[in-house]
Structure 1
């Protein structure tokens, strides 16, 4: 079994913010390490210079008298040289021409310090050398050493000054803490500034989205706003696509109209001629001509519906359309009570107004023929259309239900009722095309017509049609 691919981040804003944040974190860490390294190097260099200054202070403060004894005490003004076991010491040791005992700071307590051989660490050109040792008290100290001839008699002494490395480490640690706090504050502030800059930079995309929503809801026919140079070509291509779609729809409508007019006259002539023919041949010609008329009208309707259903501008607000239909039906059927329920208010449907009125008018007309006293109409938006006939859009669906309290139909009669030209009750006026037209229009818009028994006692006609996506989204938010 193939391994599942990781889910990618779908938000452009999150992608840009994630990449910029990752880069900012890496950059701040690198800058912090570089600054910390440079500060350590500078601190250690300053530490050695301080020890060198103390070393030559000792050299200038200690001398040898005529008896070969070491004399003098350096003045540092630093209490660490007078406190025991601090790691800050000075030592003067005679090497040649004197038997005097070595002199050292009070902090060393008369103890000695280890020293490497000259083969291990040699003197530089100034006859100085620096090295690290551990003092008798366990402190890690840095030693600065030199050898100086004290007089003209060739008496030489070794001078050593030490400093505790903890002073360097403490200084570097304090600086590191302060640097970390500063970089964290700067990094967090930079993330907010960066996020704001990204949101401001991507704001034109929100303008494009709102403009497209206006087009989908029929409030606008094109992207008319002024967009930045990077987005302007996209807006131009979208406008070109909308214009092309509009021209295709208009051309299809014109061709449908031309075809209807070109066939209307020949069929009318055939029907008129059939009246003058013998009854048997006249009936045959008349029946065939009427069949031709119905078939032509059927496919013309389908062509018109396909052209309109493919248009991104096909949309109608459902509630006002049905309010108009019900007002007409109330005037035509004063003996019937009509009820209308729409949830949520202001829902739009992705159909041309003519097609929506065709569906509603046929369903209401069919219900009015058989209803005894009551017809109930309801419209509601749902997330998915159950048992739809094909793979149509599924972002939002409007369910239209028309019920009556008439005699109703059996299951077999329901199946026959949607067939074109089938009339189950010859006593009622009509052509038998109403429910078949509803079924055909619904299918062309990826919807479906279902007939069931109504709780009112009569027929329940349910049509599922695509609603505008925004209406379904608003419904989900409210729930």
Structure 2
């Protein structure tokens, strides 16, 4: 996906390319018309110069020597002229023609006619001007046709040189404008770059709020984001407070009910119902306390709290004399709630120690995601217990399901783990360990 700067630069480049292309065509045509107009004026002046020096004696056209235009007398010249009568008979021609004849276009008396597409065997292209005149003599008026032609290559070369210079300067102008536009985009988008940097700082916990001294359009965005961050923090704190109050208010009545004496007939039922109430309350509190992944969660250093959890679990199962292996980078950070981390690691470690015979391994590390665009936290918990059959691996994640009713617990641990992993958009897999027991793998963003 293109960045906003790239999109603007590509759009501006396209517009600039179209604009400079149209400008190139317009200027090139304007210059070409100017060159052709100059050619017409030059040929018209040559005709007038010839008429000014023309004399008619004895039915013959006489021109002075040398001619006013030296090129008409040169053999390798690019300028040609002749004078004919109305029947097309050549009465005079310049020495530059070397006996050849020019193409004969139509002409009318007193009418200058210009042709730019005439072909001639000796010359690929000619510009030609023709004028019909009536010459007065003692014997009467004699109609004549005066023609002057010139190589178009001289003018075409001038046009080509202009086009080359035009393209060069337009290219330089286009690159200069692109540079200016790029600088303008960098300057105009600088506030957005600042927002991006502050997003990264908030994600890493170096900041808690966005600045609000941006341009008006961006400032509205940062103000709304600050309000959102504040609302999210207040919501989480309020949720924790409500859950704490609920837990505190329920513990006392349940404790009172547990201390009352009941008849032998209903004592077992009352105890079962009280245990069920404790289980439901514990589950609901644990599930509701899972904050889940928030975009701008402050990163937590979880090495010390993880060590405390593992130490507590090892003390809890000290009678089993388990070989408990624990490895984790000291710099590990978790972008989430501390309570979620404690519930996740505590339940998984407790579950492994509960079923293990001699060995439990807990490995926590950072790995790359499948698309290598971000890092993930991976927990791998293994034990050498009986393991979990493949057909029961989905069942065990359901609420209240226990594989062995003789093992202490309420069957909520794995279901709570599943809820926390889902809340953070992570992945949970159950497989076989190296020692034949169960292996639980958790990956969190």
TM-score tier after normalising by the smaller chain length: 0.7 to 0.9
Alignment of 1:263-342 (within 5 A): 263-273=250-260, 276-305=261-290, 308-309=291-292, 311-314=294-297, 316-319=300-303, 321-326=305-310, 336-341=323-328
For 1:381, the equivalent position in structure 2 comes to 367
Alignment of 1:49-448 (within 5 A): 49-63=41-55, 70-76=62-68, 78-79=70-71, 81-84=73-76, 86-92=77-83, 102-118=91-107, 121=108, 123-124=110-111, 128-131=112-115, 133-134=118-119, 137-138=122-123, 139-145=125-131, 147=133, 149=135, 159-224=146-211, 226-273=213-260, 276-305=261-290, 308-309=291-292, 311-314=294-297, 316-319=300-303, 321-326=305-310, 336-341=323-328, 348-368=333-353, 370=356, 372=358, 375-381=361-367, 383=369, 397-404=376-383, 406-409=384-387, 411=389, 420=400, 422=402, 424=404, 434-447=413-426
1:58 and 1:74, CA in 2 relative to 1: closer, same or farther beyond 3 A? Answer: farther
The question of whether the paired residues in 2 share the 8 Å contact of 1:338 and 1:374 is answered with: yes
User: Which structure has more strand as a fraction of its residues?
Assistant: 2
Counterpart secondary structure, 1:123: coil
Using the alignment, how far apart are the partners of 1:213 and 1:192 within structure 2? Answer: 29
Using the alignment, how far apart are the partners of 2:419 and 2:103 within structure 1? Answer: 104
Structure 1 unaligned spans of 5+: 1-8, 96-100, 386-393, 468-479
Using the alignment, how far apart are the partners of 2:122 and 2:440 within structure 1? Answer: 99
Give TM-score, length-normalised by structure 1.
0.74
Using the alignment, how far apart are the partners of 1:40 and 1:182 within structure 2? Answer: 18
Is 1:36 aligned to 2:15, yes or no? no
1:175 and 1:320, CA in 2 relative to 1: closer, same or farther beyond 3 A? Answer: farther
Using the alignment, how far apart are the partners of 1:445 and 1:136 within structure 2? Answer: 86
Deviations 1:52-88 (A, max 9, x none): 333333334444579977251354565464125x451
Structure 2 unaligned spans of 5+: none
Is 1:454 aligned to 2:440, yes or no? no
Deviations 1:238-266 (A, max 9, x none): 22222222232222222222222322222
Give TM-score, length-normalised by structure 2.
0.79
Using the alignment, how far apart are the partners of 2:425 and 2:59 within structure 1? Answer: 119
> Which is further off, 134-143 or 151-160?
151-160
